[in-house]
Amino acid sequence: MLQKAKFTFVVLLTAVLLYGCGEAPAEQVNTANVMEGNSTEETAVVIELQGDTAVLDGQAIEEFEYTWHSDPAKTEEWYEGTEPNTENKAYIAHDIWYYPELNEDGFSKVEYDGENEWAYHYTAEGYTDFIYATLPIQGETVPTEMMHSAKEAYDNPVLHITKPGTYILQGNWNGQIMIDLGEKEETFQDDNAKVKLILNGVDVNCTVAPAFVAYSAFECDNGWEEREEYSNAVNTEEAGIAIEIADNSVNNFSGTNIYRMLKPEYKKEGSTVQKKLRKIDGAFYSFVSMNLNGQEKETGILNITSGFEGLDDELHLTIHSGNINIYAQNDGINVNEDGVSVFTMNGGTVHIFAGLGAEGDGIDSNGFIVVNGGMIAGGTPSGSDELLDSDCGNTVNGGEVITIGSSRGFGMGEGEFGKEPPMGFDKEPPEGFEQGRRSFGDENFRSRDLPEEFKKEVPGGDAPKESN
């Protein structure tokens, strides 16, 4: 039987809340212990990351001089260099997608698809009426910090995982980790196209794009487009991407986003909305449904730091267990298929400090939010944002939801408000948090100081005002 849900408002934050969850051993966990804690009997492949090189089961992973390019003077993106050998389980290339440097004077303010944004148009002959890319309007000047040079992109190599299986990832990487099992049209329906990634003391830092991208793998809900009605009842047990946090490990992913880039063609006749080339908002991002869980002892930690959104999925995201901490300029977690996506929390602990830029919710679903167990704790500095914000409804069957600062608890207007804090509450909230309206549950009240590390700069600058 599910335990009775608890909903509590709290005002201050603690280092334990976001980046502690108790002290975890700093030393790297050995592979044998990882596999003891693994929930399957699969044989795992070990990938040892070494900055900008890597080793797979003792063999150096091959690197290719292969780069991605895009230019408003051309109508299609292209690649240059030696095409990688995708027959290997993994390879390294310099083909990261990113928002390229553009002349600031070439931008103009437009209304595009209901948003006021900076727009840069194609310069290719015959295509100058089409928008090449947009950026958010955050002031009177173009946010150039969201653009990146070709050199900076080259210095953020991509480690591609190309074959299904179980991989143990450990070490440091200055770039991006991508799961790419082949053509999306094929892997989407292929129930063998699955990857389990066991995080065993890994530190990934990408300065031009997301730190992790699951691009192509099996989609367990591959018939969603054929349905006419949707609900919060989804089963992601067979999802193509599974992330497992190894016991006694601390894992850090730091990245940013790629803002809207467009193709020079309209979605349909008579429309002014163009087909999307690319828009990847989260530092830890999946194009297909994904599961996250810890191992047996649940002593591992996953930290996500983002210059835009934190943990994103284009369809469904389920957290079964584990300790996950998110620090984001915009939404902490986002699942973004309109009226379809479901975020499900079955267990574990998720701490979210979101909306550190212009705005952002703790968890934002364009579909549904379901909490069956575990604990979600977090909030935003802005009183206009919610910890749980969904378009189609929030359902809390169990577990515990704790909101921090002035952020409201439920975007659907649910939850209890108006209770007075317990006796002895005399601390001021951290800068950027207002007292706002809040409710307190007597047995779950927490009061902590804002840790200094959360005043640091994160990649990508301030988050734009945008709703997905």
| pLDDT tens-digit series, residues 218-274 | 999 999 999 999 999 999 999 999 999 999 999 999 999 999 999 999 999 888 899
Mean pLDDT of 134-150: 93
- Kindly give the pairing relationship between strand 363-365 and strand 386-390: parallel
What are 68-93's pLDDT values in tens digits?
999 999 999 999 999 999 999 999 99
- Kindly give the pairing relationship between strand 165-173 and strand 90-94: unpaired
pLDDT at 221: 96
CB-based contact 315:241 (threshold 8 Å):
no
More confident residue, 134 or 360: 134
CA–CA gap between residue 292 and residue 294 (Å, rounded)? 7
Beta bridge partners of 292: 243, 319
More confident residue, 248 or 436: 248
CA–CA gap between residue 51 and residue 68 (Å, rounded)? 21
Model confidence at 457: pLDDT above 60: no
Residue 270 lies in a domain: no
pLDDT at 357: 79
Mean pLDDT of 164-188: 97
* Non-local CB neighbours of 248 within 8 Å, separated by 6+ positions: 24, 25, 29, 33, 297, 299, 300
CA–CA gap between residue 415 and residue 146 (Å, rounded)? 37
Residue with tokens 């996953």: 302
Model confidence at 425: pLDDT above 60: no
CA–CA gap between residue 244 and residue 321 (Å, rounded)? 9
CB-based contact 62:90 (threshold 8 Å):
no
Residue 44 lies in a domain: yes
Q: Which of 50-59, 413-422, 455-464 has maximum average pLDDT?
A: 50-59
CB-based contact 10:402 (threshold 8 Å):
yes
Residue with tokens 């003792």: 58
Residue 277 lies in a domain: no
CA–CA gap between residue 99 and residue 46 (Å, rounded)? 32
pLDDT at 360: 84
The whole-chain average pLDDT of the chain stands at 82
Range of the domain at 302: 6-96+152-255+283-455
CA–CA gap between residue 156 and residue 159 (Å, rounded)? 10
Q: Long-range contacts made by residues 106-113, C-beta under 8 angstroms, separation at least 24?
A: 107/135, 107/142, 109/137, 110/134, 112/273, 113/273
Model confidence at 184: pLDDT above 90: yes
Model confidence at 11: pLDDT above 50: no
Model confidence at 283: pLDDT above 60: yes
More confident residue, 384 or 283: 283
Residue 371 lies in a domain: yes
Residue 287 lies in a domain: yes
Quick count: other Cβ atoms within 10 Å of Cβ 6?
15
pLDDT at 383: 55
Mean pLDDT of 169-177: 98
Percent above pLDDT 70 for the chain: 76
Provide the pLDDT confidence category of residue 414 given band limits of 50, 70 and 90: very low
**0.85 exceeded by the pTM?**
no
Residue 126 lies in a domain: no
Give the DSSP H or E segment for 72. none
Residue 403 lies in a domain: yes
Mean pLDDT of 16-26: 36
* Non-local CB neighbours of 324 within 8 Å, separated by 6+ positions: 245, 292, 301, 302, 304, 311, 348, 349, 350, 351
More confident residue, 22 or 405: 405
Residue 72 lies in a domain: yes
In the chain, the number of structural domains is 1
Mean pLDDT of 429-453: 32
Provide the pLDDT confidence category of residue 384 given band limits of 50, 70 and 90: low
- Angle ∠(280,283,288) on CA atoms, nearest 5: 60
pLDDT at 449: 33
Model confidence at 450: pLDDT above 60: no
* Non-local CB neighbours of 8 within 8 Å, separated by 6+ positions: 400, 401, 402, 403, 439, 440, 441, 444, 445
How many CA atoms lie less than 13 Å away from 178 in the CB half-sphere?
25
Mean pLDDT of 431-439: 32
Model confidence at 408: pLDDT above 90: no
Model confidence at 441: pLDDT above 50: no
